Amino acid sequence: MTDKQLEFEKLLKEGKYNQKITQGEIIKGKIIYLEKDGALVDIGGKTEAFLPFRELTLRPRKTKIEELLQIGEEHDFYVLRDESDDERITLSIKKVSQAQGWNKLEEAKKMNETLTGVVASIVRGGVIAELVGIKGFIPTSQLSYKQSQQLDKLLGSEISVKIIELDSRKNKLILSQKLAIQDEKADLREKTMQNLEIGQNVKGEVVRVTDFGAFVDLGGIDGLLPISEFSWKRVSNPQEVLKVGEQIELKVLKIDRESNRISLSLKRMQGDPWFELEGKIKDNELIKGTVSKVANFGAFVEVHPGVEGLLPRAEITSENENPRVEDYLKVGQEVQVVVKRFAPGEHRLSLSMKEVPGGKSAEDKKEKKKMETAANET
């Protein structure tokens, strides 16, 4: 028995001549013969496989095959077509990296991994992104809202994506940037929540401003900045204080880890003006202030930047027990008031106008008291 027969018998026993070659798989082989239009490859089967020149390289056809391949070289090959009764196995080298790319994508989809791709072109209804040598389609509906409005700016940029649908045989790959962003935010949100503590100073970006406050992105999670925590001064319109996209530093007031809710404060990044007045304002003292708000129940008077006292309706005048506040006071009006009670720790300041010495209300009260005294003497 010749050496060649012995080798054939050995391969037959190992099952290499009986193995089934399937379209789409990657196999190893050795170049055994060069032709003008391609090469014959030994893949351990009963017959040689054929490698067409067009599946060898992307170079121009004028390149000679001898410049690209040498007899005896071993390569990885992609099976373009498996063996049938009338056709031999056809291989490709240039599709190997592409096939390996599909394998990586299939594994990534199975593991629900986030991948990075480069936007290669803009097409109708979305963009084409390339990753691991494969081109995939991202519908506009699967792009982030901001980027879906500015497709031209995406060209050539790297973006994170998730695989929605994959079929290598049909060369079909559908991707989503939205799903990738959702996962990234979820991971970032968890990390941010773990690192947050009450009283901590944090930086964030204003993402939404409403009538009742603003929402600030702290890194994957939004915190609420209530209108009452904007400033020690009265704020009537949050949009006049903050703008979307603005970077600000805040203090964490409350954390609800179960519901992922965070309360923030901007005014507490500054000193508390109430405590600045501690010891400077005393009960029964006469002070000046400016009316900052008028309501049915009375008025608020700012006596110091960020410090407002309540002037109840009953303390405005002694002429009428239930006066119309707007008949006596208006916003911006400067007034003199008497401190009835000052509690900086409670942020409470009670005021009175009718107790002001020398004022019309005080004179009325003195006159009334004089008349009562005279009546008692008679």
Per-residue pLDDT tens for 257-297? 888 899 999 999 988 898 888 888 899 999 999 999 999 99
The alpha helices in 292-359, defined as continuous H runs, are: 325-328
Q: Could you tell me what percentage of the chain is helix, strand and coil, using 3-state DSSP and rounding each to the nearest 5? A: 30, 35, 35
Q: How far is CA 129 from CA 112, 159, 177, 181, in A?
A: 18, 9, 11, 16
Kindly state the average pLDDT of the residues 88-112: 88
> Could you check whether 112-182 and 196-269 share the same CATH topology?
yes
The CATH superfamily holding the domain 196-269 is Nucleic acid-binding proteins (2.40.50.140)
pLDDT of residue 15 exceeding 90: no
pLDDT of residue 35 exceeding 70: yes
Kindly state the average pLDDT of the residues 153-169: 90
Token output for 354: 């009718």
The CA distance from 243 to 246, in Å, is 6
Model confidence at 367, in pLDDT bands (50, 70, 90)?
very low
The CA distance from 338 to 278, in Å, is 16
The CA distance from 298 to 311, in Å, is 6
pLDDT of residue 206 exceeding 70: yes
pLDDT of residue 67 exceeding 70: yes
pLDDT of residue 219 exceeding 70: yes
pLDDT of residue 51 exceeding 80: yes
The 3-state DSSP class for residue 269 equals helix
Kindly state the average pLDDT of the residues 205-223: 92
pLDDT of residue 362 exceeding 50: no
Q: What is the pLDDT of residue 285?
A: 92
Tell me, yes or no, if the pTM score tops 0.75. no
φ/ψ of residue 156, rounded to 5: 85, -5
What's the CATH code, domain 3-94? 2.40.50.140
pLDDT of residue 62 exceeding 70: no
Choosing among 1.20.1250.20, 2.40.50.140, 3.40.50.620, 3.30.980.10, the CATH entry for 112-182 is 2.40.50.140
pLDDT of residue 90 exceeding 60: yes
Cβ neighbours, 10 Å, residue 120? 15
The alpha helices in 246-359, defined as continuous H runs, are: 273-276, 325-328
Q: What is the pLDDT of residue 57?
A: 65
* pLDDT tens-digit series, residues 301-348: 999 988 999 999 999 988 877 888 999 999 999 999 999 999 998 999
Question: Would you list the domain boundaries of the chain?
Answer: 3-94, 112-182, 196-269, 273-365
The CA distance from 148 to 164, in Å, is 18
Higher pLDDT, 45 or 192: 192
Residue labelled with tokens 């239009």: 37
CATH architecture of the domain covering 273-365:
Beta Barrel (2.40)
Model confidence at 9, in pLDDT bands (50, 70, 90)?
low
> What single string gives the DSSP state of each residue in 8-43?
HHHHHHHTTTTPPP-TT-EEEEEEEEEETTEEEEE-
